[in-house]
Every structure is written in C-alpha cells, then in structure tokens.
A and B are shown apart, each in its own frame.
Chain A
Amino acid sequence: MHSDDETWFDALAGHAEPADAADAALQQAVRRAAVQLEDSAADALAERRLLARLEREGLLSPVRPAPRWRAPRLAQVAVIVLCVGVVVQISGVLPDAAPLRSQDAEPVAIQAHDSAEELVAQSAPAPAAEAPQARAFSPESARKSAAAPPASADVAAPMAGAMAQTERREAFAAPRAEPDVVLRLNNPAARWQELLSLVDKHEGLDALSRDDAQKRLRLRCAHRQACQALKDWLQSVGEAEQPLVPGQPLVLRLEARE
C-alpha cells in the first residue's frame, strides 16, 4: 500500500496523478529545476580517459586506425597521380618511348613475325575456324609487304617500322594469328599446281596472297559451293577434317612428306 509520500514521489516521476493543481505546479517546477541541476554536458576529456581505461582492462576492443588511403588529402594526391599517369601513358610523352617505337622495336617485331611463321610451320595443323576474330583483324597488306623483297634500304627501314607497329597492334588486337594448314604430301609440286588451278577456275575461291617458293596460299571461299569444292580437293589429298567457313581466310602450305 502506497503512502501519500510514495504517491507524491510517483507523481513527481510521472507515474501517478498529482493530488491537486498546486501540487502539480510545484512538481512541474521541481522537475525543471532538477533537470537544470543535472546538467549532463559531456566532458570529452573524461570520455577519452574512460575509453582508454576500458580498453586497457579489455572491456572494449581498441579502435583500429582508419587506413591511410581514407585520409582525404592522401586520396586527393592519389587521384592526381593516377590522372597524370594516365595522361602521360596516353600521350606517349615518356622519355624512353621514342626509341622503343623507332629503332629498337623494328628488329624485335620482325623477328617475332618470322618466329611465329616457324612455330606455325612446325606445329600440327590447327582448325581454321578456331580464331575467326583473329583472321578478321589480320593486316593483309603487311603480310604481302613482308613477303615481298624490300625495294631499297631507304624504303625498307621505315616500312619495317610501320610493319612492326602494325604487327604489334595486331598482336594486341588479335593475339592469335591465322595458323597455316600444313599439308604434307608425296608430290607437293604437282598438288600445288592442282590447287592453283582449282582456285583459278572456280568462281568463289579467291587467292588472297601466294608464295610459290613456300607453296603457301592464303585463300578464301566466298560461298558454300566454293567451300565444298575446296573441301573436296582437301579430301582428295587426305585433309578431310579441315573445316571451312564461307568468307573466312584460310592459309594452306604444302610440304613434302618425309
């Protein structure tokens, strides 16, 4: 059973009705005064001391410092450095960029081209349809220039440089070049003539480039019938598995069977 005093306290706490209006007014004034007395302004220094003690006693896990890259100033510097780097890379103003593109790059690129030919020649025939995108990006003119003898030393150097750049771009754009389909035959000379004759007389079979010495022919069948004709000839020389796709170039190279 609550006494009057307990009820008065409960009314002061807001859990009961005041006895009368005068009590209500007094309690309201006391509440305001008590709140003023209990000014709870935070003491930042005391707060830091408390947190430090709680961390020491293992009651709070220490705060990990934010990673440095989160600092606004460092982030700004990082962005500026990145932007400058991108601009320099795009514009090619690096001091060592020029010699790489003019002198040193030429033999490297030509050597790479020749090596690729050798590697392809020594490897087993790969399906021609495996890298259709690579074929679409192949610079045919550059290959013809490479196969033809240089007109003169003055012309050859810049041309080789241009080829080197073309080949370098090709290497990035189409990492896999058109593989040669190497046909090892008992009589490659006769078959070479046979192939040339087939291409010559059959409409839709186009010779894109030709190297008689190597017996290497880059050709393309324009439509299904032309492809079928070429496929028939390939079957006749024992290369029945070679897939043909209309419109896609194919490189055939004839070699003597060992």
Chain B
Amino acid sequence: MNLHSDDDVLVVALADLERAREACVILHRRYARRFMNYLRRRGLDHAAAEDAVQDAFVRLLQKASGFQPQGQGRAWIWRVARSAWLDNLRVSRLATEPLQGAHEQAAAVADVAVTSNYQDCVHGQLARFSEAYPEAGQAIVWAAVDGLKSTQIAELIGRSAGATREFLSQTRKRLREYLEPCLGLESS
C-alpha cells in the first residue's frame, strides 16, 4: 500500500480501520509541525499547541468517513483542523485577527540590512510578516506551500467573499511592504 501519493488518499485511508494508523502517522509527519507553527504564531505555548494538534487529528479521524475525494484533501485537512481549534476555543483569535501587525514595518525593515542574500532576505521578512500577521502569513503559506486557491483560502479563513477579497488585498500589500527591502538585492 502506497499512501504517500496525495492527501486525498491519506484522508480516505483514515476512514479504513486497517490503514488508519499508517495514514495517521504519515499525516502527522506531514502536518503536525505545520499545525504547531500555525498555533504558535497565534500565541499558544508549546503544550497548548501540542494539545491542539492532537485535537485536530482526533477530529480528522472522526470526520474522515465523510470525506469525498475530489483533489481537495489538503484544504479539507486544514479546514477540519481549524474547525477543531475553533470549537475548543483554544485559539479564539483565529477568526477575528485584524490585519494590523503588532510590529511596525520600520522595525522589520531595519533588520534587513544584516543580510545581503536575496533569498535569505525574503525568508527573514516572510518570517517577520507571519509573526506580525499570523492569519495573513498562514494565507501565504496555504497558497505557496499547499497550493490552495484563493477560494479555498477564503473558505478556510471563514470570511465572506467581500471580506476575503479585502483580506487578500491587504495581505498582499503588507507582504510587499515587508519584502520591499529585499527587492533591491535581487539583481545583485
């Protein structure tokens, strides 16, 4: 049995008692750290974040039998996990985070000068951006790492179409501000 193909296959396997363990292990190795990152950015300490990650996997196993494989397993996983966290009220800020960073852009820009490498600069600035705007940073990750479309991201963040459009616009604008200092390094 090769379960490493895609997330749809893994989620389907979760509903199969004989394959559930193997699928769960693979999913945990694939997502647990990412869930942790997501939760830690929202201020949860390590223990609370780990509990929340477990809650997410419990919910995944409970919901797996209702999953319809249509190539959207990754979005489904994030949606179910986020739903579990919201239900437990452990991360109540998830749905209400305003897109106003806790840190000033000036502080982020000031640190950029220490690196002259373009990719390193982008990496550092994206980290700062995600720290300042966890939900926006997560949206970038969903798109860049998970390949989720804007409509799927909208569904995950649980906003209306108009609010999502504004959210994505603000996210892109803020990210560009963070990455502005790096753009001059690209040519060099």
Contacts and interface: CB of A to CB of B under 8 A. Distances in A.
Q: Do A and B bind each other?
A: yes
B94 interface: no
A12 B50 CA distance: 29
Contact of B126 (A3, A34, A43, A60): A34
B85 interface: no
A30 B178 CA distance: 12
A3 B50 CA distance: 37
A31 B123 CA distance: 9
Nearest to A14: B147
Q: Does more than half of chain A's interface fall in helix, strand or loop, or is it mixed?
A: helix
Contacts, number: 135
A31 B144 contact: yes
Interface in B80-131: 118-119, 122-123, 126-127, 130
Interface string A212-225: 00000000000000
A84 interface: no
A29 B142 CA distance: 15
Interface residues of B, number: 50
Interface string A98-117: 00000000000000000000
Interface in B133-188: 139-150, 153, 165, 168-169, 171-172, 175, 179, 182-183, 186
Contacts of B31: 40
- Interface residues of chain B: helix, strand, loop or mixed (majority): helix
18 contacts: A6-B150, A6-B165, A9-B150, A13-B142, A14-B147, A30-B126, A31-B144, A32-B123, A34-B144, A37-B123, A38-B34, A46-B28, A47-B28, A47-B29, A49-B50, A49-B54, A50-B24, A50-B57
Interface of B: 17, 20-21, 24-25, 28-34, 37, 50, 53-54, 57-58, 61-62, 118-119, 122-123, 126-127, 130, 139-150, 153, 165, 168-169, 171-172, 175, 179, 182-183, 186
Interface of A: 2-3, 5-6, 8-10, 12-15, 25-27, 29-43, 46-47, 49-51, 53-54, 57, 59-61, 63
